[in-house]
Every structure is written in C-alpha cells, then in structure tokens.
Amino acid sequence: MLCKLSVNINKIATLRNARGGNVPDVIKVAADIEHFGAEGITVHPRPDERHIRRDDVFNLKKIVTTEFNIEGYPSESFLQLVEAVKPQQVTLVPDPPDVLTSNAGWDAVKHQSFLRDTVARLRQNGMRVSLFMDTELKQIEAAATTGSHRIELYTERYAAHFASGDKNAVLDFAAAGRYAHELNLGVNAGHDLSLDNIRFLLENVPQIIEVSIGHALISEALYLGLQNTVQMYKHQIKLARNME
C-alpha cells in the first residue's frame, strides 16, 4: 500500500517568527518541499500564532499543489478558519490552547457527540476528516462511529520505545492499524517519526497511507539539507513498501 509524506512546516514558521520579517519564507519553503517530492503540506495553527499564522494558512492554500492538511483543536475559530480555506484534509486534535505540542489522542467515547457533530460539519463542507488517536481499540471503534474518514495514530510512544531499543511497542500500532482497516478507516500516523524509526513502523503497520512529519525532518535537514532529507524520507517509505 502506498504511503504519502506530508511535511509539517510549523518549525519553519517558528524560525521566521524568532527574528521577525519573512526569513525563511514559509510559503516558498512549502513550494520547495513539494518540488523536492513531498505529497503534502501540514500546518497546525495555534491561537497564539506562535508559529503558523492565520494569513499563512490562506497564503498556503493559494500555492499548495499536492495535499493541504490543517491540524488543530476544533474550536469555533478553528472551524471557521478551515471552512474558509477548505483544505483537502482536516486533522482534529484534542489539544488545549496552551499545550506545547500534541500529547494525547481523542477520547472518542467520552466526546462522541461533539466529534460526530464536528465531523459532520466538516464533511458537509467537502473536507476529509482525520482524528488524532491512541491505539486503544475501543477508542478506534468509537472514532469510526463519528463519521471520520481516517484516524492519525499518535506515534510518540512508539518512537520513544524504538529509541530505547524496545521495538515491541509497534505491536499495539499494528493491531490498531488492522482494526481501523476493518472498520473502513484510513490510517495516518504522526509525532516523533524520524529517519531512524519510520521504516520499521511502516513495515509493521502496512495500513498507514500517510505520515505527517515536522520536527524531526526539519531538525535532520539542518545537517542533511532540506531537499536531501525529504528525498531520504521518500526512500525509507519506498523501502518499507518494497518499492525499490
């Protein structure tokens, strides 16, 4: 099964905002990343605009030629933003406004009604919806009943265990991928994925059809160069799917 690479460019915006001005140019970097081979651009705008800004989202919509994925907590202001922009995919995350980075998946059992209403609203506006989820099977089953098209597996736990030499953590993700597929949910994945751990994950969770990678990819690019790093990820994905 093919797997697309979507690059999260939040860290590019963080670097720009640290100095003011427009260096690096977030819009140009996004276009370059697509040219280098990525199949998508991801952003996660936050209320304080500490990295991606509202105007960035509108400007990116004008130039992204692959797939535009906007992540965020479904506050009314966020929903109005994505309804105005209409990206190809909206990934809903359960982040409170002040969280540093995403750190848990949805409790789709507890928030079933809220998620069902939100997903229906986004679907009515023609957007594909993905829910940020942990691997608990009952939660994935609950996610399927919301009407969401996909889930995005939160892979921080897998990455942490892999880095310590324990690869057994991938087993829960493999089970989650199989179950989601049985429920006709597409499977994305993201958080702390890197050149070191992505191939093993994709080999063991063949249902994954999209990975969203930002922090590690941009960090690796400091040493390897952005074009080279994007192409190295593409190579790892191809190796995992026996395409080379």
pTM (predicted TM-score): 0.95
Q: Which of 34, 152, 191, 210 is catalytic?
A: 191
Domain ranges of the chain: 4-240
Q: Which of 34, 51, 67, 71 is catalytic?
A: 71
Residues 6+ apart with CB under 8 A from 17: 50, 51
Check residue 129 and give its pLDDT. 98
Q: In the predicted model, what is the mean pLDDT of residues 14-33?
A: 97
CATH superfamily of 4-240: Aldolase class I (3.20.20.70)
Cα 14 to Cα 24, 30, 130, 139: the distances in Å are 10, 14, 25, 33
Q: Is 71 a catalytic residue?
A: yes
Residue-wise pLDDT for 53-96, tens only, equals: 999 999 999 999 999 999 999 999 999 999 999 999 999 999 86
Q: Is 191 a catalytic residue?
A: yes
- As a whole number of angstroms, the distance between CA 38 and CA 130 comes to 19
Q: Which of 44, 67, 152, 220 is catalytic?
A: 44
